[in-house]
Amino acid sequence: MVKCIETLNWGDCLNLTNEDDIIMAQEKMEYSFLSDILSLDGKKLKEMAFSAIKSKMLGMNYMPRIEDSRLRERAGIFVSLNVYGEHFSRAGTVFPSRPIWVSVIEYAIEAAFHGSLHQPLSREELSALNIDIYVIGQLQSLNPLDMGKAVEHRTDMDGFLLTSQYGSVVALPGSDHEFRQDPEEYLNDILENAGLQMEDLTNSTVRIYRFRAALF
């Protein structure tokens, strides 16, 4: 999970009062967007991120040639780095503030050199680098009191954004272990990362959003 501080025009909360409503809402979530994104060349996206990191390391500017027009679409992006099989750093946003290709480059560089508790990524670590890229779909507002039901019915592409007066927490679609995690335990992990407890979901400052993400 990644903590981030963001601002958003919240709009109205979608009140999901029963399981059928939740399932129906999931079925309507941006299938056209996801089908387009899932057909992107994930290898090229990762190569773009890697080239941006390597170029920065060498003191060079990186400007890729964008042949796929879908990469000019705006979408939320997270770039996650693993080195020698261990998590190194992650950077990104759920908000569609920039074109996909711009965000991939920006957050790859941020994760490699500015987003880690460790030292910046070294040349020696570059050869052991593995990159995961999340392309985020549209945020869907949920009634905080229905968060438990939404977690119970989550798919392996679902993530959540929780905001409160204390900041915000993004729960990206995780590993197979996290997906199979008990819904109550999964929800408690999100709340704990946000510094909240279950009863805090009744607080008027709490906002919950669900999104779907394509992972490359």
All CATH 3.30.1490.150 domain ranges of the chain, comma separated, are: 2-6+13-18+140-215
- Kindly state the percentage of the chain with pLDDT values over 90: 38
pLDDT interval class at 180 (50, 70, 90): low
All CATH 3.30.700.20 domain ranges of the chain, comma separated, are: 35-136
Query: pLDDT tens digit string along 98-154?
Result: 999 999 999 999 999 987 677 899 999 999 999 999 999 888 888 888 888 888 888
pTM (predicted TM-score): 0.80
- CATH class of the 35-136 domain in this structure: alpha beta
User: Does 3.30.1490.150 match the CATH number of domain 2-6+13-18+140-215?
Assistant: yes
Query: pLDDT tens digit string along 52-95?
Result: 999 999 999 999 999 988 899 899 999 999 999 998 999 999 99
Handedness of CA 171, 82, 93, 103 (dihedral sign): negative
